Structure 1
Amino acid sequence: MSQFSTPLATTPGIMLVRVGQAGCALRWDAQAACWRWPDPQGGQLYAWPAQDSMPSGVRLLESAGLIACCRSGRVLLGLGKRLGSVELPAAGQSGRPLQAQVLATIDAAEARTVISDGRTDRQGNFVFGTANTGADQRPIGSFYQYSTRHGLRRLALPVVVAARSIAFSVDGARMYFADATRGDIMQCAYDAERAKVSDVRTFASVPAPAPERGAAVVDGAGMLWSVQGGALARYDADGHPRQRIELVREPVASMAFGGPDLRQLLLLGARGGLYGLPAGVAEELAPGVADTPFDDGPAAVVDSQRPHHGD
């Protein structure tokens, strides 16, 4: 039985634009006032400022599956087993393919794992998880926090096959996370300064057979939006399902709040389409919560291959 056993209206999305071959992670860049997303198949990083313009793309030398906007204006990238950052070319410049500066190598001794999901916490640290890409599908994926102040620190959370649904409460004191295909959506108390977690427990039950879980985000009302089985599910603060949004042309890959006052919720499709919601649905939603840019300040950057647990 579906977890949405109570009658919930299914809301379709409205296609706004399509570029590239694949979509995986969508972010709103408040400094540049544009939406950004990588295309891991085409090796591009796209930016789209408004509906009356076309997206622009820059080529990356390495395919990226995750992005976060940085305080400096650079972009943080998840590149397989590495975190890196790139400086974007100025508007109008025809740039060469961008080479990322490597910030950290993740779990270098384990060839099967890659970075699978992540976002900044409310203090500007990047929190992410890894996935086992091997045929054995053993739970060897972990969760980490990366910052220029402390380097790479492993979070004391259960191991997973593939880390997904990483998000933070409005006040930043709770973290949400999940295994892609196993178990429920979980939550825990989160101390950003110490990279410390506690009180790990279920947030929302996902009945078997569990749909594959993807990206997640929390809105200004404390509700969690989670990609599940190619659709977007909305949960209230108590973990009860409230709404489901599906795309007709392709599965949902990611979502982000952005635009003026963070009132727009856009959906990124798995094949590169970008979608909005019908006006009647969009007007009923709470606004989003601004992502805190990754703090890439002057602290020393270390290629951290041996993470330690939070204090």
Structure 2
Amino acid sequence: MTNGFDVAVRAEATLGEGPTWDAAAGRLLWIDILGSRVHTYDPATGRRTVRRTGQHVGAVKPRAGGGLVLNLRDGIGLLDPDGAFRWLHREVVPGRRANDAAVAPDGSLWAGTMRYDEAPCGGTLSRVTGDGTVRVLLDDVAVSNGTGWSPDGRLMYYVDSPTRRVDVFDVGEADGRITGRRRLVTIEDGAGFPDGLCVDADGCVWVALWDGGAVRRYTPSGELDREIRLPVPRVTACAFGGPGLRDLYITTARVGLTSPHPLAGSLLVVPEAGTGFPQPAFAG
């Protein structure tokens, strides 16, 4: 262990992102967005797999019936357990790609998009149900990023990275609609930009800092509780996994770095960082 973290997978991902614990398979899923690759890692055996997607991929999540759901450049795709691919929802928008996504407590996929040039109001956050029904929730996003829910499902946390904010919404019990958007925290100048996030069993929010070289833990009231410093500047996302959901997995990127650190693009892990709580699989 070095400075509190281990190297789970030494890699050179261009834009490593989206760590997700696949509880049914006992493995971690993660992606290289610009490398168009889906990675799996089994911490018990060290076994790894890599699958090319054919286009830029913003997120991968397990499905309740087996297989994976992908947030792809041109829409939402499904990988069946036998490896067959099909589109659940296809929507080609020139100049736009998929970005981060998360599965809500009701099993719907909340999928983000952004323009390649990161233009303001060029991205969206949409709710996608298992039958492929899509409802746009936010249509004025620049870089749709971290999304997560409180353990009781009543709050939703969200990042539009250029705003430097982590926002919080109230979630409707009947229809899952989000209201009452407000600031949880603003990342100060010089500390990087908020990217991916996850929520732990205490309701605290862990936020990866792009160009900040760190992951921070904030309490539900927005107080900074802990900071994990890392040697790579472009820290992209985090998620709890492993036995008891106690290990914090962290993805990193090397895109845009003229002299990247040797670990840039690797999958890192902080053992016994805290305790997560089980995340639902996509109901489709």
TM normalised by structure 2 equals: 0.85
Q: Pick closer, same or farther for the CA change 1:21–1:201 going to 2, 3 Å.
A: closer
Q: Pick closer, same or farther for the CA change 1:76–1:200 going to 2, 3 Å.
A: same
Contact kept, 8 Å, 1:19 with 1:55, in 2: the verdict is no
SS class of match (1:65)? strand
Structure 1 gap ranges (5+):
1-10, 90-97, 297-311
Query: Partner of 1:115 in structure 2?
Result: 98
Query: Partner of 1:100 in structure 2?
Result: 85
Contact kept, 8 Å, 2:156 with 2:171, in 1: the verdict is yes
State how far apart, in whole Å, the 1-side matches of 2:190 and 2:279 are. Answer: 32
Instruction: Give the superposition deviation at 1:249.
Output: 4.4
Matching residue's letter, 2:85? A
SS class of match (2:244)? helix
SS class of match (1:181)? helix
Query: Partner of 1:179 in structure 2?
Result: 160
Query: Partner of 1:7 in structure 2?
Result: none
State how far apart, in whole Å, the 2-side matches of 1:193 and 1:118 are. Answer: 22
Larger relative strand fraction:
2
Matches within 5 A, 1:145-164: 145-149=127-131, 151-155=133-137, 157=138, 159-164=140-145
Instruction: Give the superposition deviation at 1:113.
Output: 2.7
State how far apart, in whole Å, the 1-side matches of 2:190 and 2:131 are. Answer: 42
Out of 20, 29, 36, which is 1:27 matched to?
Answer: 20
Matches within 5 A, 1:192-231: 194-208=175-189, 211-229=192-210, 230-231=213-214
Instruction: Give the superposition deviation at 1:185.
Output: 1.2
Structure 2 gap ranges (5+):
254-263
Out of 157, 168, 180, which is 2:149 matched to?
Answer: 168
State how far apart, in whole Å, the 2-side matches of 1:148 and 1:188 are. Answer: 23
Aligned length: 270
What RMSD over aligned residues (CA atoms) do the two structures have, in Å?
Answer: 2.4
Q: Pick closer, same or farther for the CA change 1:49–1:24 going to 2, 3 Å.
A: same
Q: Which has the higher contact order (CA 8 A, sep 6+)?
A: 1
Contact kept, 8 Å, 1:24 with 1:268, in 2: the verdict is yes
Instruction: Give the superposition deviation at 1:207.
Output: 3.1
Structure number with larger C-alpha Rg: 1
Q: Which is worse superposed, 222-231 or 192-201?
A: 192-201
Query: Partner of 1:251 in structure 2?
Result: 234
Q: Does 1:128 align with 2:120?
A: no
Percent of counterpart pairs with the same letter? 22
| Cα deviation digits, residues 133-177 of structure 1 (max 9, x gap) | 237x2223222110024700111x472211112111111111111
Contact kept, 8 Å, 1:81 with 1:114, in 2: the verdict is yes
State how far apart, in whole Å, the 2-side matches of 1:39 and 1:116 are. Answer: 11
State how far apart, in whole Å, the 2-side matches of 1:151 and 1:30 are. Answer: 26
Q: Pick closer, same or farther for the CA change 1:38–1:13 going to 2, 3 Å.
A: same
Contact kept, 8 Å, 2:75 with 2:89, in 1: the verdict is yes
Q: Pick closer, same or farther for the CA change 1:66–1:193 going to 2, 3 Å.
A: farther
Q: Does 1:191 align with 2:169?
A: no
Contact kept, 8 Å, 1:182 with 1:210, in 2: the verdict is no
Q: Does 1:58 align with 2:51?
A: yes
State how far apart, in whole Å, the 2-side matches of 1:47 and 1:132 are. Answer: 27
